[in-house]
Structure 1
Amino acid sequence: MPEIVIETRPHDLGGGFEVGRVLPFRKHRSVGPFVFFDRMGPHELAAPIPPERDVRPHPHIGLSTVTYLFEGEMTHRDSLGYKQLIQPGELNWMTAGSGISHSERFDGMRPAGGRLDGIQAWVALPEEFEEIKPSFVHYNEFELPVMTEEGIWARLIAGSAFELESPVTVHSPLFYLHMEVTAGKRVPLPQDYAERAVYINSGKLQVKGQTYVAGQMLVFAKDSLPVVQALENASLMLLGGEPLGPRHIWWNFVSSRKERIEQAKEDWKAGKIPLPPDDHVEFIPLPETIA
């Protein structure tokens, strides 16, 4: 059985754009180095998409953001000067390190609207890498390795699993996959990691006679060998890795040290974290409280 089952909770990012938040959870803060996991959708965005639905420039420290879409598209802009369209199946990986800001806007979808669905995860950085220089990389769907066998298709987004390795540089052992499984098939789980989880995008899974449904994350204990079976065609995210130790999370800041988060707050208020060069007219101010 899973060690714990985490339910998706609704969370409003502002402007009426709601996500399903899974991590962090009060009883289970992280899975390996994954400290944050948001389901963005599925949403039917009516035309024209108002600018209020965009995610305006905001800061990060001490983590890497991992954006992966199933449907729709978004435009990433960051304070390093990168502008990148994100489309389904692609990997958008931004390492904040010592500090970066970015925005996510619906430029391409704005006139006609459409369906949006995807996941944004945050991967915490090991202490020795928390203050590295910010960086950004993007890989299209054809650059990411794929595993296929009867009834199973999987794309390795980051890390290593099933004798595959993603091209993106990671700073600690981890795996992150998008997997499609047909009804009746067993779901393979990497065994070489301390912490592992399965998030159900759609469909149903069964473990020891118990049924689990879309929106649930099943977290499995170290060294467990669960038999996870698809009761119907299922879309899944598999994630995990080696834990990094406790992390403090406040708003968009992640750090092993509380005082570093306090410094990041002051830096954002003082304008010391630059804005994206072509998206600097507005930004999200530091919140007074966190819901």
Structure 2
Amino acid sequence: MSELASESVSTARSGSVAAAFAPDWLYLREPADAAARATELVDELRDHLPDGGLVIRDLGCGTGSLGRWLAARLPGPQRWILHDEDADLLTRARTSLPSTALAGSPVDVVTEQQDVTALRAADLAGTSLVTASALLDLLTEAEVTALARAIVEAGCAALLMLSVTGRVELSPADPLDAALSSSFNAHQRRLTGGRRLLGPTAVDVAATAFGRLGATVVRAESAWRLGPDQAELQRQWLEGWVGAAVEQLPELRPAADVYLQRRLEMAEAGELHAVIHHGDLLVLPPSLEVAA
């Protein structure tokens, strides 16, 4: 997951993505995620989906927030296959997706507990659409390249949303904002379990990987815009953002502790505004472009 979830409440094992995400955090961020997602990409996606039923694989599904948001925006009967390594999250997700899609078509949901980085083209056979939310920044370059190849070779579309891009705007500004942002971004690109995470370079790396394989890639901005009515989300995001920055650069701690207290007081008082930038990608393999 991106931002707080990707570095503060998750762990990563060598050769796999994702280990444990706190469900309370995932539910808390869901409205901000929904407001940020690039709906124009969904509008374009509809023109490239096959007629009849859809088979949709959601990678790193978490609690199922992307499915809850997307199912009702897509036509026809849908079979969602939810992928995650966390059995508890899969249980939550499976029972929370809507039972009907756009125009009342049925939605069927099954789960697969597995490492999504191991998926190859054969695993995606028969899939209409691959989706993921806040996943790419947790992958390595090799993992993104392999996933791109699997998707393109399988001939399915992909909608990859809410990957952190490393840009944060806080208002009012503070002299320490830039240093914390830089340290946080370095933390996102850290080496962990023998894996070098892509962090804020993930969108660029993924777009390049798909483009080299001949796919059409459409990019869109998907920023969180947190205002005074989201004080609790601001608080948890701030604690994770500053905590990751200090973990990366411990000498920041004395100033960062004061900074965090000041920012939390502003959030509680309704005086803080935050824009946390993310990027969305729509991927259309050559086979879909020809069919369209």
Structure with the higher fraction of residues in helix conformation:
2
Structure with higher strand content: 1
TM-score normalised over the length of structure 1: 0.26
TM-score by length of 2: 0.26
